[in-house]
Amino acid sequence: MCGIAGIVTNDKSAVPAAPIEAMLGALAHRGPDGQGRYEAPGIALAQARLAIIDLETGGQPLFGPGGSVLVANGEIYNYVELRRDFSGANFATKSDCELPLYTYARDGGSFAHDLRGMYGIALHADADYLARDPFGIKPLYYVKYAKGVIFASEPQAILKTGLVERRIRNEAANELLQLQFTTGRETIFAGIERVLPGETIALRNGDLAERRIEPALPDAPLLELPEDEALARLDAALMDSVMVHQRSDVPYGLFFSGGIDSTAILACMAKLNDRPVRCFTARFPETSKSEEAAHARQLAKAAGAEAMEVEVTAERFWAELPAIVRAMDDPTSDYAIVPTYMLAQEAAKEMKVVLCGEGGDELFGGYGRYRSAQRPRWLGGKALRSRGFLDGTQVLRDESRDWRTNIAVAEARAATHPRTRVQRAQAADCTDWLPHDLLTKLDRCLMAHSLEGRTPMLDPVIAGLAFRLPDAMKIRGGLGKYLLRKWLEKTMPNARPFAPKRGFTVPVEEWIAGRAAKLAPLVARQTAHVCYPDAVERLFTSYSGGDKRHGIACWQLLFYALWHRIHAEGADASGDVFDCLEST
């Protein structure tokens, strides 16, 4: 796990040292264990390293057959198996990231096809390549500028070069306020784009050339198999995925909520490890709403795990929110950023790697919106994300539905395959919601503390089974994730996977309610380029708690006000929320 960066020029001119140094400095939190550089006519590559595998000799850049060179961010989990395909090769290291150099020598631009893992890769050979894993677990961004292409693991590193104008796209700000993330290839920063999940881009003569995609989801018929066989296959897939996701030369733990997905991973880890699993759970001691910490504590004890609870309080929320927002340069206003950041802060004190349950809902059909997707429109079915967070508030200057354009494109693309309605909704979520919200949140919150997050549910072995399950093995009796629940009922009965779900939420609207009047003019001022200030003030001053939708609208605006203050205006994020918003 690392941060990578580089510049490719269109005239083979030398890359100046200053922008590379600036990017390395901006990525230092992603790789505090060392730095590496490579320079040749027309190209410069750099890496900030977080050492996880092959601690002694795994530094980058890595060199391969025919003079190829690579820097990578992430993990190739099947590197042990891939090495067997190159039995005659003279590997220079034990690093998992050396393998793409050899698959490139064999497969050319399709070098990522056999990689099982999470990665952002830059590879220099006969052409230059940027590649990202199929689910988009690891980030990679690029921008075209007058002399070529700049790329990095985070947009803020690209901006630090001084070669690109820092300009916010108002249409993307609108999208963020309505969706809590931004969609598609374009980011909120004008000109800076994402390498899409599964995409490999060839750069020739310092310009973008061919693109190819490795899909995350299988394009194959539904599996017709009895439940007992499906459970046996699920058991094998889960154990295999968790096993390879534990490949590490440093200690690892688990982010554990007590929900279905993280409990399934805990059950596998408990079987695979001789030592107790170290679990980290967020607890909200002040909220009036139900939360799952007590249940998680009981399950951890039953599994023989060591439980560590991290308190997420209103005091910490107000004190640390600017630092959390600073980490979200590619913004997602998902309020789960708050506990995720605080869990990472605690876990990083004793380890470098944590596993988590992201992706279980998307692959096994866990969301309520998938149950709605089963029904045709005339029976109450509806499109995904048909309503924005600020709909009805009359605060936005642009009240068009343009914020939903890329969601509609993803839905239309998903519908071109012979899939069920549930599969189409899952595929649409895997296009934007998963990589641009959940996985961006995970990457930035953890890497802010030099902590690697691993997602065993987002694995081709799991996807090859889970996505192809018939709808009835995903949704049954009004509950999603039926087969995963059934497996957990058999494997860890005290998890009570078919019991009514305990509510889990981050009480941001409760916390905001007590300070809404003070926030009103500060948020109105910072959002005036996309919102009507008077309407924003009215929204805050009229909020006293109780109405969740009203409270979440206030949260959306507060997040964006802080984000714009820090990432557009360059404000200091070292103080609390009011220090940040009040500073001039």
Catalytically annotated residues: 2
Q: What is the 3-state secondary structure (H, E, C) of 30-56?
A: HCCCCEEEEEECCEEEEEEECCCCCCC
Where do we find the tokens 């099982």? 116
CB atoms within 10 A of CB 400: 10
Pairing of strands 199-204, 207-213: antiparallel
Distance between CA atoms of residues 329 and 311, nearest Å? 25
Burial class of residue 4, CB neighbours in 10 A (0-12, 13-18, 19+): buried
CB atoms within 10 A of CB 418: 9
Whether the Cβ atoms of residue 583 and residue 570 lie closer than 8 Å to each other: no
Whether the Cβ atoms of residue 5 and residue 46 lie closer than 8 Å to each other: yes
Question: b/e per residue, 308-323, with b = 16+ CB within 10 A?
Answer: bbbebebebbbebbbb
Residue-level length of the chain: 584
CB atoms within 10 A of CB 114: 17
Distance between CA atoms of residues 553 and 5, nearest Å? 36
Tokens representing residue 283 in the block = 């607890």
Residue 110 neighbours by CB under 8 Å, 6+ apart:
200, 212
DSSP 482: H
Whether the Cβ atoms of residue 71 and residue 130 lie closer than 8 Å to each other: no
Burial class of residue 379, CB neighbours in 10 A (0-12, 13-18, 19+): exposed
Q: Which residues lie across from 479 on neighbouring strands? A: 476
Whether the Cβ atoms of residue 443 and residue 139 lie closer than 8 Å to each other: yes
Tokens representing residue 65 in the block = 């057959």
Radius of gyration of the chain (CA): 23
